[in-house]
Structure formats: C-alpha cells, structure tokens
Amino acid sequence: MSVIRPATVEDVPAILRMIHDLAIYEKEPDAVKNTPDMLAEVLFGENPRVYASIAESSEGTVQGFALWFLNYSTWEGVHGIYLEDLYVVPEARGEGHGKALLQYLAATAVERGYARVEWSVLNWNEPSINFYKNLGAFPMEEWSTFRLTGDALGAFGADAGQSSEALAHG
C-alpha cells in the first residue's frame, strides 16, 4: 500500500538520491547539478514554486516521488500541473506507488480547478509509456519539445540585450 504525502525538508536527501537514480536510468548519469541546498530552497524557500510529493510504504519507507510545478493554459484560462519527474525505486515498482502519485496529482488538479496534468517521457521508455497509456494518458503526437540551454541559451539571451538597446536608441 502506498501513502502519498507532501514532501518535507527532511525528504530532500532522499529526493536528491532518487533524482540521481533517475538520471542514471535515463542514461544521463553526470547531468545532475542539483544540490541539497538548491533543492531545499526551491521546494521550501521563501516563495516556493516547485512542489514534491512522496510515496511511502505503510512502514514509512520512501518509495518514490513526484516533482511538479504549475503551468498555465492560455486556451483554458487556468493552471495545470507539469510533472517534471516521477520516480519509484526499482525494488518497489509494481506496488502501485507510481499510480498513487499520479492519482494524487490528478486529484490535486481537480480539487484546484486545474485543466490538466502533463509530462514528458523519453521515446525509448516503453515501460513508462505503456504504464501511462494504461492510466488513460495519451501522447501529444503532433507536438515536439524544444529547449534552449547552455551556450545556445547564453548567446541567444545576449542578443536580446543588444536588440533591446538598439530599439531604445533607434
């Protein structure tokens, strides 16, 4: 049985450990730059905008987590939940923790009047894709995710300063 609850600051080490485990699973073992202090600040700082939910066994052992934040639908005119990460420790998979976490987020969305819960999944991750489809979720086939990061982000952002300055003086 899974018990779902909001994360507390005491959960930060377990969440960060699972983030590292997820990065290994997703074949990006060196990609995590997050630290306990950074994670604690975004989850529990003065103005948190990122949230985490914990799945525990009935004995109180952390079995998984969902990390999420709000997005906004201009068409619906209301918020939604964007699920950044969902992870269940390998030895607890198949026990209902992932489903319970997603049900918790769905119930949160309904309770708050949000329009949707959405997330991304790697195309090769067939076990997760099948799991999500069995819950009634569907892929957004006509949409592709785009990202600016690293040098490209820095260069493009730097161009904005030059463009704004030129417009202000021109």
How wide is the angle at C-alpha 68 spanned by C-alphas 98 and 130, nearest 5°? 35
Q: What predicted TM-score, i.e. pTM, was given to this entire model? A: 0.89
Active site residues: 132
Q: Give the residues of the chain that fall short of pLDDT 50.
A: none
Instruction: Render pLDDT for 45-86 as a digit per residue (tens, 0 to 9).
Output: 999 999 999 999 999 999 999 999 999 999 999 999 999 999
